[in-house]
Structures are given as structure tokens and as C-alpha cells.
């Protein structure tokens, strides 16, 4: 399937008083039309920056140094604000963690959805309201006519997330960026929300890029998974193969931690996080149980290590053959 989103060598840095710090380093990634891709990594790996970068929402002190973001054949980095605006909330949409915070507290949700609708199409007020009611119904909000006048603080977290989804899928969305869908929500509620998103995505043929710290969610709802570490993709594999046997030491640590905390609420894995990424050579080296001397010389390239799988590790193939005990 043709990729609708192609990221090539995307590099983003953050300016501080002490100099520029790399947040994304030459990141390359593809998302195919209609596919569900999961992005996992710990906090600080750059997942949120990646999402914002695709939508062109990074303001100074963030700076995009290099790279292309190609959506449906157009390089988004060359786009002017006006064209980008039409794309946002239209072909590419975003959902966020902590949904209530992302809704305007002083305006009714009905009006907020109407505003989003009218920003993308010329629609009369009444038609927009009707469409809003349809959307609310589609995301499973009961009694939508009454809910139009509701304010965000009157709705539960789950309902707010549904409102956000309604806004996100209001137009023919080709790519839905889902940022931490389970954050701030009850486990049962987030399950419902994820089912809803998945269902809508499948029925509309929307590609999904699901960013999460929760491996379980990725396992369940995604076809492919990409692992991020220190601003780079370190592994990229189909979900079944990945969970059967990872090709990167970091992935292995993640899986192990997830297994250990399975059954506990909010399966956020606690990984051995005390070591900072290395400045030279493979950044994972300080935490890597299977590193060798060669790992210190340069950052390994993201290479094909099996059918449809890439990994950024010199020991990937050995890992795959289950030779390494670490």
C-alpha cells in the first residue's frame, strides 16, 4: 500500500541558553494509507514532538533543522500557514491526552465543534448544528441535542475525549494522530474510547498513528509498531513479530517491563532510566546489556534485519536468533 505519510531525515532541535539540543535526529518513518501504526517510547523520546512536528505546530524554541514531511505527495514543511490550516483538522487530525484541558472552558462544546466545521467548509449555522449532532451521536454521546449546550467541565473525561474525536473525524480524515489516548482516563473508559477510535478509523479508511507508552494498547490496536529512543526510530516491525521477538535491546527491556506490570493499572513500564543517552556512538549503549566495542564508534543505521523489519542495532540479528540471554 502506498504510504500517505513519509518522514525522511527529520531533525528537530530545541534552543536553550546552553545551546541547541537535538530532539529528533534524522527520523525516517512511513505510514501507509489505512494502516494503524503504534509509536512507543518513554517520556523524552520525542514522541509528542514528532506528532506536533507533522502538524507544523512546533514554535520556537523548537526548530526544524532538516528533513521532509511528505503527506500525500506534498512536503508539509514547504507549506504556507493558510494551506496547512486547511489540512489540520481536515485530512490530518489530532487527539490529545487530558482532553478536558484542550477544550475551551468558556464555550459550549456544540459551539466549539461548529467552529471547527465552519473553519473547513462553508456551512450555514443550522446545517453545522445538525452535523454536530450527528457527529456526537457517532462518537457515542447520548442525547446529543441537549449536549450541544454543555460546557467541558460538565462532561466526564471520557465524554470530553469523545468530543475531541468528533472534532478530529469531522472531515474526511486520512491520517489520525492519536497522542496518549489512555492518559488521564479510567482503564474501562479508555478501552471504550480506543474501540471507538479504531472502529471509526476502519470504517472511514483512516490511517492511525497511535503514540503511547502503553504497549498493551499498541499490541491490541496496531498492525505495526515503531519504537523511539532519544529522538530516533530504533525498531520498526509488524506487531506479531515484534511481540514474539524484538530486534533491539531497548525493545526487549520495554517488553519485559510491560510483562512485569501486566495486570497492574496504567501499565506504564518502569525501565532502567537512570542513564542518559550517550553523546557518541549508539545512544542506548549506557543501558545496553549486550553492547560491544563497535557500538561506541557510531550511531548504528536503521537497517532491514528481517522481512518487513528494521532495527538500529549492531546486534539485532543475534537478538532475533535468540542467541543473547540478556
Partner 1 sequence: MKYASRRLALLPVQLLLVSLIVFVLVRQMPGDPTFLYTGPFATTERVAEVRKQLGLDEPTYVQYVRYLERIAYGDFGLSMRTSQPVVADLRQRLPATMELILYAVVFSVLIGVPLGVYTAIRSKGALNRGVFVYGMTSGALPDFWFALVAIFIFFYKLHWLPGPIGRIDLLISKPQNISGLYTVDALLTGNWPALASASGQLVLPVATLVFIYMSLVLKNTRSAMEDMLRSEFVTYARAAGLPRLMQWRYALRNAMPPIITVTGILTWFLLGGAVLVETVFAWGGLGQYAVQSVVNSDYAALQAVVLFSAVFTMVIFLLVDLAYFLIDPRIK
Partner 2 sequence: MSSDNPSLPATPLPRVGQQTAWRDFLSFTRQRGGFQLGLAIVALSLGLAVFGPHIGPYPTETALPGMPLQPPSWRHWMGTDVSNMDIFSRVIAAPRIDLTIALVSTAIAFAGGVALGVISGFFGGGRGVPKLLSEGIMRAADIIQAFPVFIFALALVGFRGPGTENVIAALAFLNIPYFLRITRGAVLQVRERPFVEAQRCAGNSEWRIAFVHVMPNALTPPLANISPTIGFSILLTSGLSFVGAGVPVPTPEWGSMIAIGAPNMMTGQWWTALFPGLVLGIVILGYALVGDGLKEFLDPVNKR
Q: Is 46 in the site for partner 2 (CB under 8 A)?
A: yes
Q: Is 317 in the site for partner 2 (CB under 8 A)?
A: no
**DSSP 3-state of 154:** helix
Contact residues for partner 1, defined by CB under 8 A = 55, 57, 81, 85-90, 93-94, 96, 98, 101-107, 115-116, 119-120, 151, 153, 164, 167-168
Q: Name the residue with cell 479504531.
A: 198
- The C-alpha cell at 168 is 478530529
Give me the least distance between CB of 36 and partner 2, in Å please: 22
Q: How many residues bind partner 2 (CB under 8 A)?
A: 19
Q: Is 44 in the site for partner 2 (CB under 8 A)?
A: yes
Q: What is the four-CA torsion angle of 250, 256, 260, 263, rounded to 10 degrees?
A: 90
Q: Is 277 in the site for partner 2 (CB under 8 A)?
A: no
Give me the least distance between CB of 259 and partner 2, in Å please: 25
Residue 32 burial (10 A CB sphere; 0-12, 13-18, 19+): middle
Q: How far apart are CA 298 and CA 289, in angstroms?
A: 18
Contact partner at residue 151 from partner 2, partner 1, none, CB < 5 to 8 Å by partner kind: partner 1
Which region among 15-23, 71-79, 170-178, 303-311 touches partner 2 (by CB under 8 A)? Answer: 15-23
Cis bond upstream, residue 61 (ω within 30): yes
- When the beta carbons of 233 and 305 are compared against partner 2, the nearer one is 233
Residue 219 burial (10 A CB sphere; 0-12, 13-18, 19+): middle
Give me the least distance between CB of 323 and partner 1, in Å please: 45
- Tally Cβ neighbours within 10 Å of residue 72: 16
Contact partner at residue 176 from partner 1, partner 2, none, CB < 5 to 8 Å by partner kind: none
Contact partner at residue 301 from partner 1, partner 2, none, CB < 5 to 8 Å by partner kind: none
Q: Is 99 in the site for partner 2 (CB under 8 A)?
A: no
- The C-alpha cell at 311 is 532495527
Give me the least distance between CB of 156 and partner 1, in Å please: 15
Q: Is 16 in the site for partner 2 (CB under 8 A)?
A: yes
Give me the least distance between CB of 314 and partner 1, in Å please: 39
The three-point CA angle 167-39-261 to 5° equals 110
Helix or strand (DSSP H, E) at 264: none
Q: Name the residue with cell 474501540.
A: 195
Give me the least distance between CB of 135 and partner 1, in Å please: 13
User: In Å, how far from its chain's centre is CA 242?
Assistant: 18
Pairing label, strands 303-306, 232-238: unpaired
Q: Is 21 in the site for partner 2 (CB under 8 A)?
A: yes
Interface positions with partner 2 (CB under 8 A): 14, 16, 18, 21, 23, 43-44, 46-49, 52, 96-98, 101, 180, 183, 276
Amino acid at each position: 500500500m502506498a504510504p500517505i505519510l513519509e518522514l525522511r531525515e527529520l531533525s528537530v532541535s530545541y534552543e536553550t541558553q546552553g545551546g541547541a539540543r537535538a530532539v529528533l535526529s534524522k527520523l525516517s518513518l512511513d505510514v501507509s494509507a489505512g494502516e494503524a501504526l503504534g509509536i512507543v517510547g518513554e517520556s523524552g523520546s520525542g514522541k509528542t514532538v514528532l506528532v506536533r512536528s507533522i502538524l507544523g505546530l512546533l514554535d520556537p524554541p523548537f526548530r526544524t533543522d532538516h528533513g521532509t514531511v511528505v503527506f500525500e505527495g506534498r512536503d508539509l514543511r514547504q507549506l504556507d500557514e493558510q494551506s496547512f490550516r486547511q489540512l489540520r483538522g481536515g485530512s490530518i487530525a489530532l487527539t490529545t491526552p487530558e482532553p478536558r484541558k484542550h477544550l475551551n472552558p468558556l464555550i459550549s462544546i456544540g459551539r466549539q465543534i461548529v467552529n471547527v466545521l465552519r473553519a473547513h467548509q462553508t456551512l450555514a449555522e443550522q446545517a453545522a448544528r445538525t452535523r454536530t449532532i450527528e457527529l456526537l451521536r457517532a462518537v457515542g454521546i447520548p442525547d446529543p441535542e441537549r449536549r450541544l449546550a454543555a460546557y467541558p467541565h460538565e462532561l466526564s473525561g471520557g465524554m470530553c475525549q469523545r468530543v475531541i474525536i468528533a472534532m478530529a473525524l469531522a472531515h474526511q480524515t486520512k491520517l489520525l494522530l492519536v497522542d496518549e489516548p489512555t492518559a488521564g482516563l479510567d482503564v474501562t473508559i479508555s478501552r471504550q474510547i480506543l474501540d471507538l477510535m479504531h472502529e471509526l478509523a476502519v470504517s472511514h479508511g483512516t490511517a492511525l498513528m497511535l503514540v503511547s507508552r502503553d504497549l498493551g494498547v499498541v499490541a491490541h490496536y496496531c498492525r505495526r509498531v515503531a519504537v523511539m529512543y532519544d529522538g530516533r526510530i530504533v525498531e520498526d516491525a509488524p506487531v506479531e513479530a515484534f511481540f514474539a521477538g524484538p530486534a533491539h535491546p531497548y525493545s526487549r527491556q520495554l517488553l519485559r517491563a510491560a510483562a512485569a506490570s501486566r495486570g497492574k493499572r496504567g501499565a506504564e513500564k518502569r525501565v532502567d532510566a537512570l542513564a542518559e543517552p550517550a553523546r557518541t556512538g549508539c545512544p542506548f549503549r549506557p543501558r545496553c546489556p549486550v553492547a560491544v566495542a563497535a557500538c561506541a564508534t557510531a550511531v548504528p543505521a536503521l537497517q532491514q534485519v528481517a522481512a518487513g523489519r528494521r532495527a538500529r542495532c549492531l546486534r539485532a540479528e543475534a537478538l532475533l536468533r535468540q542467541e543473547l540471554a540478556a
